[in-house]
Structure formats: C-alpha cells, structure tokens
Amino acid sequence: MNLTDWLGFMGVALILLAYILNVTNTISNSHIAFILLNCIGATMACYASVLLNYWPFIILEGVWALVSLVALLKTLTNTTNIS
C-alpha cells in the first residue's frame, strides 16, 4: 500500500470507529470525540480522494468534513460560552 492508500484507509477507519461507538451507545453524536473522529477521518479520506483525483469521493468526504467542522465549531463555541 502507498501513502494515498494509508490516508484513505485511516480516514475511513476513523469514520467507522465514530459510527461504531455511536451505535453501541458508547458516545453520542454530539460528543466531541464523535465530531473529531468524523472531521479528521473525512478530511483524511477527502485528501486521499484528491490524490486519486476521484471526484465522487472528493465531494462526499469534502462535504462530510465541512459539516463535521461546523459541528465542531458549534460545540467548541457552546462549551466556551458555558464557563
């Protein structure tokens, strides 16, 4: 496997880990770990897709990363406003 394969594999693994932890009720979908796993995983998978020049997954993972980033920023903003 080359670097692109590893980036894609690790990105997808992080997304799947977030999903598994959520469906097993280990973390909620609003938990910071869930959001970070999705954001980092989708970014890695998107970058791997860019390296492969595979547009369907660039769009899918890019949108996934952006939505996760917005959720992360909202979570961090709400956390800092509580204190």
Integer Cα distance of 47 and 57 in angstroms? 10
Cα 70 to Cα 63: distance, rounded to the nearest angstrom? 11
pLDDT tens, position by position, 16-46: 999 999 999 999 999 999 999 999 999 999 9
pLDDT category of residue 63 using cuts at 50, 70 and 90? very high
Average pLDDT, integer, range 66-72: 97
Distance CA 6, CA 40 (A): 14
pLDDT for the residue 82: 59
Does residue 83 register a pLDDT over 60? no
Mean pLDDT score of the chain: 95
| Residue whose token pair is 């998107």 | 46
- Is the CA virtual torsion 50, 10, 24, 70 positive or negative? negative
User: Contact at 8 Å (CB) between 38 and 68?
Assistant: yes
Q: Which two tokens stand for residue 46?
A: 């998107």
